[in-house]
Amino acid sequence: MLGGEVEIFPLKPLNAYASFETRAFEARDIKTGKPLLALTAGRGRCPRISAVGSYQNVKSAHLLKLVSAGIVEWPGENKQVYTFVFDLPPARKLLPEGTMRTVRIGDERIIAALIQPAVEVLADLQAADLVHGALTGDNIFIAGAEGGEVAIIGECLSSAPFFRHGAIYETIERAMAQPGGRGYGTAKNDLYTLGVCVAMVLRGGNPLAGKPDDEVIREKIDKGSYAALMGGERLPAYLTEFLRGVLHDDEAARWNLEDAQRWLEGRRLSAKQPHNVMRARRPFVFRDRKYWELRTLAMDLAAHPSDTLALIEKDGLDLWLKRNFEDRDLELRLETFWKKEDGALRERVVAELVQALDPYAPVRYRDLSLFPQGFGTALADAMARGEDVQHYAELISLQLFNGWINQRYEEIAESAGMVTLFEKCRNFLAQKMPGYGIERLVYLLNKEIVCLSPMLRDFYVLGPGHLLMALERLAQRGQKLEPVLDRHMIAFISVREPKMIDPYLGHVISHDRGYQVIGILRTLAAIQRRFRIAPVPALTRTLSAQMGPAVERFFDRDLRQAIAQRLAAAAQGGNLSALLELVDAPPVVQDDQIRFAHARREFAFLTRERAALEQQLTRRATFGLASGRQVALLIASVLGVASVMLTIFHYYFWR
């Protein structure tokens, strides 16, 4: 059940609508019986939960309608999954899986059937500050009979934008990046993808099907995207104009949504000339392959770092570049590279060389290929899969993103902010204490990712409130919570709700177990108050059992015994603040400290007095003589005064 209005059938999968880690199942509207589609999102794919409200506000007949969304307790697997429920899309896909042939749509129908509906959806999404990022051939559905076809654009929420794209759907630069490292993208990227889909329909299928991604990229570089997709196909002039506009390989010259809308209105736009690529007069040979331009050379240099390092030690590459490319920007980038190359880390040398040769490509370091905007998503995906993230940390420490941004500083709108952000990340990475390090980076750079703590792998923790409820569930299962808050949880809370943990972080990460459990209890109690979480009795019982070191902080033995007795009763109520009051009430703590200070002073006085007596006892022959004389003198004086007074009284009054 989802929201009391939707019923999902876990035993009835709809594999035709599944993709990557997204699973699809039959569902229905309980009130009307209407069939629906349920999609369960993979955690590492960073589903766009924050965009749910904006997506629902898009009222377009050509966009798959979102019915409901939320966390579902998935039966049989004993874990939580985030589930989106949509209207059931039409059965026909623009490019059915398992085939290279698209649905046939005639030239005269393709604008009304595909281009116009898609552009309208993209415009509506842009008005809601969204991109689609999943406009692929298998995510566009065709409704209507032949001659009356119309496209229904599929959902885009179950994964991060452009995550599910193959290389054919991406521009040359973005296709070079790993799927999670492409970044959010813009409407221009959606239009490029639409252009690819239109080209497929006009060609009757995918012209690059069966080719690996690197071959697809090479073909686009060699021929240009338009020529690689259309070949020598002759098209009506108006369709050629559209495709050349949206598939242009120069980002600045590529059409935006306003251009596409003007074209749909019948306006003629200035012709887009193919993007010219600088080519050498003579080829450069690397690994027995000839290269005439820099982009494919940079790709292969990055793919074979050992051979590249051997190449750098010779002068052949530098001479070839100087003789064949008269480009002042390239010369400046290479001058900077050669100055930094001496003594640098080997992998860094390769990364900076290919970056100098192709500044528009992603940062390529070891096995990573990322744009700065996509770093957070790629890191989250790697962590969710349990992969080693050491290379991600090295990339930040070596400041490779800063070099990439500086090469294109004037072209990037948020360049200053990006440099500041990655410098902040580098500082966080240098701090090894819990709450910082690589764990903090994943939550700082990705607002969609759930808490990736290994303890919470069965839960979909979107915020500190969810985290507290997950800990309660774990306590109910009898799982040992040691530590209660691990590095992931601490970083997650600190980024999402810093006021809930940052004031107590010194206690939480303390090596003193007593201070540590107090800090954890303060944090969880703050979360329970802030989000008005219901009582968590299982968790309070678990924490109560760990309060021994906190109770031992008190100096008064009777007080310790009283608190220990009251802890068991307080734990049953599930109120973390009540538990905290017993072990961390400021008046009680202060009074205990004051009385202990008084006791220490009294003990110190008695200790000094004892020491003095022991010192005097070392002289037994004369011990007490001085005191005895003083006492005798005092007694004699008192007796003398008394005698005188009695004599005077007798003389004057008794006679």
pLDDT of residue 413: 78
pLDDT of residue 7: 95
In which band, very low, low, confident or very high, does the pLDDT at 154 lie, cut at 50, 70 and 90?
Answer: very high
Which stretch of DSSP H or E encloses residue 550? helix 548-551
Q: Which residues lie across from 40 on neighbouring strands?
A: 23, 83
CATH among 1.20.210.10, 1.10.510.10, 2.130.10.10, 3.30.70.100 for 110-264:
1.10.510.10
**Mean pLDDT in residue range 497-512:** 92
Query: Does the pLDDT of residue 551 top 90, yes or no?
Result: no
CB 540, CB 579: distance < 8 Å? yes
Q: Which amino acid is at 642?
A: A
**Mean pLDDT in residue range 490-515:** 93
Percent of residues, the chain, with pLDDT higher than 70: 97
Q: Name the residue with higher pLDDT: 38 or 411.
A: 38
- Start-end of H helices in 250-389: 257-264, 294-303, 305-312, 316-324, 328-341, 346-357, 375-384
Half-sphere exposure of 483 (CA within 13 A, CB side): 19
pLDDT tens digits, residue range 422-441? 999 999 999 989 999 999 99
pLDDT tens digits, residue range 592-651? 788 888 888 888 999 988 888 887 777 767 666 777 788 888 889 989 988 888 888 878
**Mean pLDDT in residue range 195-205:** 94
pLDDT tens digits, residue range 207-265? 998 899 999 999 999 999 999 999 888 888 889 999 999 999 999 899 999 999 999 99
Q: Which two tokens stand for residue 336?
A: 């900077």
pLDDT of residue 271: 61
Query: Does the pLDDT of residue 525 top 80, yes or no?
Result: yes
Lowest mean pLDDT among 60-64, 409-413, 473-477, 538-542: 409-413
User: pTM value?
Assistant: 0.87
Q: How far is CA 499 from CA 272, 465, 503, in A?
A: 53, 13, 7
pLDDT of residue 585: 77
Q: How far apart are CA 254 and CA 196, in angstroms?
A: 14
Q: Which residues lie across from 79 on neighbouring strands?
A: 74
pLDDT of residue 35: 96
First to last CA, the chain: 117
Q: Could you tell me the residue ranges of all domains in the chain?
A: 6-87, 110-264, 277-361, 454-584, 589-622, 624-655
Q: What does 152-168 look like in DSSP terms, one character per residue?
A: EE----SSSTTTT--GG
pLDDT tens digits, residue range 157-168? 999 999 989 999
Q: How far apart are CA 598 and CA 577, in angstroms?
A: 30
In which band, very low, low, confident or very high, does the pLDDT at 470 lie, cut at 50, 70 and 90?
Answer: very high
Helices (H) and strands (E) in the chain, counts: 29, 11
Query: Does the pLDDT of residue 284 top 70, yes or no?
Result: yes
Q: What does 46-99 look like in DSSP terms, one character per residue?
A: ---GGGHHHHHT---TTBPPEEEEEEEEETTTTEEEEEEEEEPPPS-BSS-TT-
Q: What does 211-279 look like in DSSP terms, one character per residue?
A: --HHHHHHHHHHH-HHHHHHTT----HHHHHHHHHHT-SSTTTS--HHHHHHHHTT---PPPPPPP---
Q: How far is CA 462 from CA 49, 277, 497, 533, in A?
A: 9, 46, 12, 15
pLDDT of residue 70: 94
In which band, very low, low, confident or very high, does the pLDDT at 564 lie, cut at 50, 70 and 90?
Answer: confident
pLDDT tens digits, residue range 325-369? 888 888 888 888 877 766 667 888 889 999 999 999 999 999 999
pLDDT of residue 622: 67
Q: Which residues lie across from 143 on neighbouring strands?
A: 150
In which band, very low, low, confident or very high, does the pLDDT at 527 lie, cut at 50, 70 and 90?
Answer: very high
Query: Does the pLDDT of residue 655 top 60, yes or no?
Result: no
Half-sphere exposure of 124 (CA within 13 A, CB side): 18
- Start-end of H helices in 385-448: 390-397, 400-407, 415-430, 437-444
Percent of residues, the chain, with pLDDT higher than 90: 58
Q: How far apart are CA 355 and CA 344, in angstroms?
A: 15
CATH among 3.40.50.720, 3.30.200.20, 3.90.79.10, 3.40.1280.10 for 6-87:
3.30.200.20
pLDDT tens digits, residue range 127-141? 999 999 999 999 999
